[in-house]
């Protein structure tokens, strides 16, 4: 869309060359900008149409993130594979701390110990507690170990990473902006309804009303 000073120059050129026989015509970009300026309430119409085109994708993006977060929460709370793996961590931890009155036979453990499992080594330093837990799980809990149909018992690391980056404040901010822009779209569309002639009001009015209601 042409800026006001650009449009002024284009219109000035049009007026000055109107009655001249050998007047130089507008170049295609300037002609295009001039023709856009002739569309009634062009800026308001474009704002509404652009908002409509991006609204569904914006809502879908938020929904996909929330659905991923919800799915991960359900898996971490109730997934049998998660319970089995965490159960092994607790069982091995209790076995290793069996002679320790303060740490042995614990009913649970803090999640902050999970990244440290790889640092606990065997006496000959050849393997970690983490690799032992994995091999024990595959031997005793996974019937399809080594086969193509073997299923990873925990949530996908990439999904966990994505969920860990999510902030509810960001969701609220995005939704507030969408709500604000939707209200602005109603106002801008209303301006178009008020001043447009019968020839120019449709299909814009019908499409926008349907979109805003939906």
pTM here? 0.65
Distance between CA atoms of residues 185 and 58, nearest Å = 15
Distance CA 41, CA 44 (A): 5
pLDDT in tens, 87-115: 999 999 999 888 777 777 888 899 899 99
Residue 19 pLDDT: 66
pLDDT at residue 208 tops 80: yes
Quickly tell me which residue has 């301006």 as its tokens.
Answer: 191
Model confidence at 21, pLDDT cuts 50, 70, 90, reads low
Given this model, what pLDDT does residue 131 score? Answer: 93
> Within its chain, how far is the Cα of 158 from the centroid?
14
* Residue 43 structure tokens: 């800026």
Contact 196, 204 (CB under 8 A): yes
Spatial separation of the C-alpha atoms in residues 121 and 117, rounded to whole Å: 9
29 to 1, 10, 101: CA distances (angstroms): 11, 11, 83
- Give the DSSP per-residue string, 45-104: HHHHHHHHHHHHHHHHHHHHHHHHHHHHHHHHHH-HHHHHHHHHHHHHHHHHTTT-TTTT
Least confident piece of the model among 60-64, 81-85, 143-147: 143-147
């Amino acid at each position: 869309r042409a800026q006001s000073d650009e449009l002024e120059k284009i219109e000035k050129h049009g007026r000055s060359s109107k009655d001249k026989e050998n007047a130089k015509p507008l170049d295609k970009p300037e002609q295009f900008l001039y023709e856009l300026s002739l569309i009634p309430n062009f800026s308001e119409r474009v704002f509404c149409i652009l908002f409509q085109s991006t609204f569904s994708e914006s809502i879908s993006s938020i929904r996909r993130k929330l659905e991923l977060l919800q799915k991960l929460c359900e898996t971490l709370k109730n997934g049998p594979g998660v319970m089995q793996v965490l159960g092994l961590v607790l069982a091995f931890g209790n076995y290793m701390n069996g002679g320790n009155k303060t740490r042995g036979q614990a009913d649970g453990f803090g999640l902050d110990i999970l990244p440290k499992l790889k640092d606990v080594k065997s006496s000959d330093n050849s393997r970690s507690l983490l690799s032992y837990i994995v091999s024990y799980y595959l031997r005793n809990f996974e019937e399809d170990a080594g086969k193509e149909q073997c299923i990873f018992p925990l949530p996908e690391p990439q999904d966990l990473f994505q969920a860990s980056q999510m902030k509810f404040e960001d969701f609220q901010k995005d939704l507030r902006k969408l709500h604000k822009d939707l209200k602005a779209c109603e106002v801008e569309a209303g301006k178009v309804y008020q001043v447009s002639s019968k020839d120019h009001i449709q299909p814009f009015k019908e499409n926008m009303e349907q979109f805003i209601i939906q």
